[in-house]
């Protein structure tokens, strides 16, 4: 069985390795001189979680255009770090490390003196700037600090990624689109009999499907969070921390 298969088996049986090989541990290994898989891992994490950086910069007061330039400049700089010499096991959360790195980047006057313009010859990740600004404009963020907005945007991005993965898993499942609302809606408000009638399923079958869907959602959520941590014992703590951003 492959290493990934072994990891999945540990997850299924509830026997999580405290220091399983996640994307973040691959990146940490780069700080010790091992490059195997590290660059691809950091690029994938940045591709997944660049929007919270953009939202944080916008909340600091930068314009849309400047936030785009700064986000791209930061990511170009971050991806060029080789072999991430300042990383250590103490950097247990990719989320925290990324935000601290961004603050250091902004403090070094890159926006005034060394900004990397879009299309300026630097190979960078393909990012959906139009969608980013639409997301920022539609979010009720006026009362949030830049750090709180970063955490909330991270949580929203995380949930979006989990839903996308779940949709792929159920691409051939006829009832998925109708039942996915149960993942975010109050289960006490679910009218199972009405849903069952619309899907021409029994109410019992709908309840079973919803139960399994929620279980898959929870597992995917924990796995996604685990990819950004070193110690898997911190998954629940990280989950609680992220969801606290919605109470702000």
Question: Any idea where the domains of the chain sit in the sequence?
Answer: 21-247
Q: Is 122 helix (H, G, I), strand (E, B) or coil?
A: coil
Residue 73 predicted with pLDDT over 80: yes
29 or 212: whose pLDDT is higher? 212
Where residue 236 falls among pLDDT bands split at 50, 70, 90?
very high
Per-residue pLDDT, averaged over 85-105, amounts to 80
Tell me which of 86-90, 119-123, 207-211 is least confident: 119-123
Where residue 22 falls among pLDDT bands split at 50, 70, 90?
confident
Where residue 10 falls among pLDDT bands split at 50, 70, 90?
very low
225 or 14: whose pLDDT is higher? 225
Q: Token digits for 61?
A: 């007061």
CA distances from residue 125 to 21, 58, 72, 118, 196 in whole angstroms, order as listed: 24, 19, 8, 11, 43
Closest to 73 (Cα-Cα) out of 126, 108, 110, 127: 110
Per-residue pLDDT, averaged over 78-100, amounts to 74
Largest CA distance in the chain: 65
Where residue 124 falls among pLDDT bands split at 50, 70, 90?
low
The mean pLDDT value of the chain amounts to 79
Per-residue pLDDT, averaged over 139-154, amounts to 85
Cβ contact 48:157 at 8 Å: yes
Per-residue pLDDT, averaged over 18-45, amounts to 69
141 or 99: whose pLDDT is higher? 99
Of all residues in the chain, the percent with pLDDT exceeding 90 is 35
């Amino acid at each position: 069985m492959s290493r990934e298969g072994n990891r999945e088996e540990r997850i299924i049986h509830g026997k999580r390795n405290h220091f399983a090989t996640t994307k973040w541990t691959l990146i940490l290994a780069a700080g010790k001189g091992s490059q195997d898989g590290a660059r691809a891992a950091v690029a994938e994490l940045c591709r997944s979680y660049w929007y919270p950086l953009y939202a944080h910069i916008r909340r600091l007061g930068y314009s849309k255009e400047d936030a785009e330039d700064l986000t791209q400049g930061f990511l170009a700089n971050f991806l060029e770090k080789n072999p991430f010499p300042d990383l250590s096991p103490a950097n247990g959360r990719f989320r925290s490390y990324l935000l601290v790195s961004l603050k250091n980047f902004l403090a070094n006057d890159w926006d005034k003196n060394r900004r990397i313009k879009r299309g300026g010859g630097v190979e960078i990740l393909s990012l959906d700037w139009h969608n980013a600004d639409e997301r920022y404009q539609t979010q009720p963020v006026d009362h949030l600090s830049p750090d709180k907005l970063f955490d909330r945007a991270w949580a929203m991005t995380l949930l979006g990624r989990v839903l996308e993965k779940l949709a792929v898993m159920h691409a051939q499942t006829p009832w998925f689109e109708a039942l996915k609302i149960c993942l975010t809606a109050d289960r006490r408000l679910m009218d199972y009999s009405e849903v069952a009638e619309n899907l021409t399923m029994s109410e019992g079958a709908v309840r079973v499907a919803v139960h399994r869907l929620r279980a898959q959602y929870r597992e995917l959520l924990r796995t996604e969070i685990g990819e950004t941590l070193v110690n898997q014992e911190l998954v629940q703590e990280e989950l609680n921390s992220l969801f606290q951003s919605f109470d702000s």
